[in-house]
Amino acid sequence: MAERTLRGTRMVSFSMETTENVVPSERQITTYVCDQGHRTELPFSVEADIPSTWECRCGLLGKLLDGPEPEPKKVKPVRTHWDMLLERRSVPELEELLEERLTLLRERRGEKPRKRSA
């Protein structure tokens, strides 16, 4: 089967609107500086909210030159497996479960059960 091509048509669409009577918004140039000294200059509209940080080309965060200090992000403490376990069980319950499991393992091995010291 032969491939068909579209001849005489344009695959790209063009806007019929013109730029007449269009007034671009007023711009301001903002400068961001990262810890390695890279300067990034970006145009923003005068009406736009200027972010206090911008990602630099090196991957670090650049801070707005002569701008307010960025607010630190809230960092959650790392929850470990032990922390999550303690949310569900108390330490005496965990000790009791451990003793039960150890008893089962000892029985499988053929060991004699140990006397529990209180």
Choose among 56, 30, 33: nearest CA to 43: 30
pLDDT of the residue at 12:
65
pLDDT of the residue at 68:
81
16: left (phi over 0), alpha (psi -120 to 50) or beta: alpha
Quote the CA–CA distance of 90 and 2 in Å, as a whole number: 75
Q: Is the pTM of this model over 0.85?
A: no
Q: What is the mean pLDDT of each run of 10 residues along the chain (118 residues)?
A: 57 74 88 93 92 91 86 88 94 95 91 67
